[in-house]
Structure 1
């Protein structure tokens, strides 16, 4: 049975955050709220948790995974970024954007696009996410809680519990989530930003 933690969306309880991080470090899979939608998350090196996520979402081998990061301080470790691109990222983080960048050797191969060797980087503007990342001490592998056959992500914590009970180890209930996913911007080609998906983050200020 999946454990549900009712966590405050503005002032997350440290005790609950520690409990969630214990699950992540133990190889668990969690569902949690972000500044856009609810998401699924696990620790970067946990292969079994990642495989569970892939099965749950029925993702193919070309899916581009995203690292949820507290800030840009870890960027150089996981991604290759040119100075103009870094300035763009700095101006729009934290926020509702996922940035597609070329990954470094620090990123497990199974998290990157198999041919392009790219990875998504995301810095959320959300108290629960930031507190969770601070407690965890490193990025979290994340993917939108959008299940096969659904047009929109799950938003109601009650629905999330009913659907995911027994399929994830923990649900962080931070209230209702959003329906709109992040805006995805690719910075891979070196020709400036390319909008891959328009979502919650405005694109007008990107160009």
Structure 2
């Protein structure tokens, strides 16, 4: 059964963050808060953990379109090709924030994602997950936890999330109530920005 760990966003406890990082380093799956909906994630460098998420989601790993949660813009450049000035300006305006940006991937992508030409990047405006990524030292893969109940597309109550996921993951973070609006997805891999999904993030940044 998963651990249930309370972490306060305004002052994430260092010991608690280290506990989460340890779970990730050992190939564990976590559910964590972002600035939008709660996410399901693992260490991007752990193949077994990536396979576990694919299995939970019922998809083949190579077909997965997950985003990478990065700590900041310099962290992003580890995985994407050279960013031009106009793209950089958009990222600088928007991040950290409730956006997923699709960018051209580079050769440093983990082997599971090598065939992908683009990658989704997130830098959420949430101190808990940013602290986790910072201490882990590399991104975590992120996919949102959809609810089967169509009225409640996303679960927002950490205790209910824990009830539902406790036998599938290794740790659930209670970071307070989540949002039920997903991130805005913007494709920056072509000549012009393309809005793929309008979510919580405003389009004024474009």
Do the two structures share a fold, i.e. TM-score over 0.5? yes
TM-score tier after normalising by the smaller chain length: over 0.9
What TM-score do the two structures reach when normalised by structure 2?
Answer: 0.92
- Counterparts of 1:87 and 1:121, CA distance in 2: 15
State the Cα distance separating 1:159 from its structure 2 match.
1.1
- 1:123-159: CA deviation from partner (whole Å, max 9, x where unpaired): 1111111221222122111111125x44412211111
Contact 2:54-2:64 within 8 A present in 1 as well: no
Residue 109 of structure 2 is matched in structure 1 by: 107
Contact 1:57-1:146 within 8 A present in 2 as well: no
Equivalenced residues, count: 202
Contact 1:79-1:103 within 8 A present in 2 as well: yes
- Counterparts of 1:96 and 1:102, CA distance in 2: 20
Residue 33 of structure 1 is matched in structure 2 by: 33
For structure 2, the 5+ residue unaligned runs are: none
- Counterparts of 2:16 and 2:162, CA distance in 1: 17
- Counterparts of 1:51 and 1:67, CA distance in 2: 15
Residue 181 of structure 1 is matched in structure 2 by: 182
State the Cα distance separating 1:192 from its structure 2 match.
1.5
Q: What's the secondary structure of 1:79's corresponding residue? A: coil
- Counterparts of 1:150 and 1:103, CA distance in 2: 34
1:159 matches 2:160: yes
What TM-score do the two structures reach when normalised by structure 1?
Answer: 0.92
For structure 1, the 5+ residue unaligned runs are: none
